[in-house]
């Protein structure tokens, strides 16, 4: 294989380009916009920068956030200290940094739109707004609105959610997460360098109604949305059944990032999975063993082992997390109340925010800590006076 074409230069495409070019392959990356302010919170978890330290060790402007305020209906807001900070980037800066790294590694970076890809013998011919490009292999990294019909995840409406928001002037130290009644999603306020990104994501609800919910919230918070810059985009959120038949690779191509539907169906986190899938795709392609078909099979296996099985499980949990009931209250309300009252529960929430607690294993950890958490909650409610001295020992 001599030449790999990377279609799309967001985090997934740029990182794949860097990895493949560093290994000595001829790489051409084609993006219609190159570095741009893609609608996004720009939040990067500890999981991302601990595995890819260059994401924190760089000179790019970014916010380092060490606390989050969680709020839900009928629950008093609680401040959760983040054991490991969350980084918040502007997407223009993050994309620029990743594209520069790809170029430095030797990738050729072209600004053009890919309009068509067709098979030419064992390779590909791409039609772009800048002309024709030939390649032996394609990495599809065109994001959630992938216009290339025959490659990448086939997203149906139940596999997506809308995400939209406003960039508003303002300054605050932490992030805010607000759960709303009957919404499989949430509102966020992320502090960025020089402004706030206020947004909402939700599954199964039209964008217009999400926007109304967000504007209502912003009015209540005194955040001016009229005249503010509005953004909206599609967020993959694969249904459970779609994970198993997810089209992540085919003859002569692999898909990475949003184009492969690789987003956490609960939090909407996609940046880590974009970079991680690009890494796994590059490793599979560069693997010394097996023919191309074997390398694509290897990519599927690596994805599943690394995080796709966990995200598939998360897709089963999502409805229960946002719309379920526990102890006669909504799950988000209980989550906020438990975070306030139980240090054990708060520690689990911290690990979820850092990306250190996989969804597979979450139930076991919750159950293991249930007695202890309930004990802490009961004590915090002032029942300690009712417990006979010396017993029971704290679980
Ligand atoms: C509102 C919102 C908030 C979000 N907040 C967060 C967050 O805080 N943290 C987080 O981890 N994730 C967040 N996400 C998800 C995150 O934005 C995505 O998962 C991430 O951008 C995926 O990266 P990617 O490289 O796969 O795709 P993209 O970043 O979408 O990149 C795709 C690239 O392909 C290019 N392209 C598309 N079609 C063509 C074509 N035909 N020819 C040439 N180029 C093409 C585009 O110009 C683009 O640059 C959010 C998403 C939304 C919508």
Is the C-beta atom of 38 inside 6 A of ligand 1? yes
Is the C-beta atom of 236 inside 6 A of ligand 1? no
Judge whether residue 290 has pLDDT over 80: no
Taking all residues of the chain, what is their mean pLDDT, rounded to a whole number?
93
Q: Which of 164, 188, 268 to mutate to test the pocket of ligand 1 (most atoms within 8 A of CB)?
A: 268
Cα separation, 79 vs 116, in Å, equals: 49
Is the C-beta atom of 257 inside 6 A of ligand 1? yes
Name the token pair of 282: 């590059």
pLDDT tens, 167-179?
Answer: 999 999 999 999 9
Per the document, the length of the chain is 395
Q: Which of 35, 274, 276, 278 to mutate to test the pocket of ligand 1 (most atoms within 8 A of CB)?
A: 274
pLDDT tens, 327-355?
Answer: 888 999 999 999 999 999 999 999 998 99
Q: Which of 101, 143, 145 to mutate to test the pocket of ligand 1 (most atoms within 8 A of CB)?
A: 143
Is the C-beta atom of 265 inside 6 A of ligand 1? no
Closest atom, ligand 1, to C-alpha of 148: 41
pLDDT tens, 184-196?
Answer: 999 999 999 999 9
Judge whether residue 289 has pLDDT over 80: no
Is the C-beta atom of 114 inside 6 A of ligand 1? yes
Is the C-beta atom of 40 inside 6 A of ligand 1? yes
Is the C-beta atom of 11 inside 6 A of ligand 1? yes
Share of the chain above pLDDT 70, in %: 96
Closest atom, ligand 1, to C-alpha of 263: 19
Which residues does residue 232 pair with via DSSP β-bridges, in sequence order?
164
Is the C-beta atom of 127 inside 6 A of ligand 1? no
Residue 371's pLDDT band (boundaries 50, 70, 90)?
confident
- The mean pLDDT of 62-71, rounded to a whole number, is 96
pLDDT of residue 393: 44
Judge whether residue 233 has pLDDT over 50: yes
**3-state SS of the chain?**
CCEEEEECCCHHHHHHHHHHHHCCCEEEEEECCCCCCCCCCCEECHHHHHHCHHHCCCCCCCEEEEEEEEEECCEEEEEEEEEEEEEECCHHHHHHHHHHHHHHCCCEEEECCEEEEEEECCEEEEEECCEEEEECEEEECCCCCCCCCCCCCCCCHHHEEEEEEEEECCCCCCEEEECCCCCEEEEEEEEECCEEEEEEEEECCCHHHHHHHHHHHHHHHCCCCCCCEEEEEEEECCCHHHHHCCCCEECCEEECHHHHCCCCCCCCCCHHHHHHHHHHHHHHHHCCCCCHHHHHHHHHHHHHHHHHHHHHHHHHHHHHHHHCEECCEEHHHHHHHHHHHCHHHHHHHHHHHHCCCCCCCHHHHHHHHHHHHHHHHHHHCCHHHHCCCCCCCCC
């Amino acid at each position: 294989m001599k030449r790999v074409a990377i279609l799309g230069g967001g985090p997934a495409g740029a990182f794949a380009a860097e990895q493949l070019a560093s290994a000595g392959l001829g790489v051409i990356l084609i993006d219609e916009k190159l570095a741009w302010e893609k609608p996004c919170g720009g939040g990067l978890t500890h999981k991302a920068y601990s595995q890819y330290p260059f994401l924190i060790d760089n000179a790019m402007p970014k916010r380092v956030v060490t606390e989050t305020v969680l709020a839900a209906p009928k629950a008093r807001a609680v401040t959760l200290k983040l054991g490991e900070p969350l980084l918040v980037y502007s997407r223009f800066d993050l994309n620029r940094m990743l594209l520069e790294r790809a170029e430095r590694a030797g990738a050729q970076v072209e600004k053009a739109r890919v309009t068509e890809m067709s098979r030419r013998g064992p390779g590909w011919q791409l039609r772009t707004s800048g002309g024709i490009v030939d390649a032996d292999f394609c990495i599809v990294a065109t994001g959630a609105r992938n216009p290339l019909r025959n490659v990448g995840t086939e997203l149906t409406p139940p596999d997506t959610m809308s995400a939209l928001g406003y960039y508003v002037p303002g300054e605050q130290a932490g992030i805010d997460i607000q759960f709303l009644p009957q919404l499989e999603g949430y509102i966020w306020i992320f502090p960025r360098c020089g402004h706030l990104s206020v947004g909402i994501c939700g599954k199964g609800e039209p964008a217009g109604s999400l926007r109304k919910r967000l504007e209502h919230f912003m009015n209540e918070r005194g955040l001016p949305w009229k005249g503010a810059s509005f953004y909206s985009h599609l967020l993959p959120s694969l249904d459970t059944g779609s994970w198993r038949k997810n089209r992540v690779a085919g003859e002569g191509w692999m898909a990475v990032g949003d184009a492969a539907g690789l987003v956490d169906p609960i939090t909407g986190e996609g940046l880590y999975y974009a970079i991680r899938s690009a890494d796994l795709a590059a490793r599979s392609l560069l693997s010394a063993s097996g023919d191309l078909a074997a390398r694509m099979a290897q990519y599927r296996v690596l994805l599943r082992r690394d995080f796709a099985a966990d995200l598939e499980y998360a897709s089963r949990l999502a409805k229960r997390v946002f719309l379920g009931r526990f102890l006669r209250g909504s799950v988000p309300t209980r989550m906020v109340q438990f975070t306030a009252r139980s240090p054990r529960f708060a520690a689990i929430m911290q690990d979820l925010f850092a990306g250190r607690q996989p969804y597979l294993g979450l139930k076991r950890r919750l159950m293991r800590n249930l007695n202890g958490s309930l004990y802490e909650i009961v004590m915090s409610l002032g029942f300690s006076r009712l417990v006979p001295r010396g017993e029971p020992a704290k679980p």
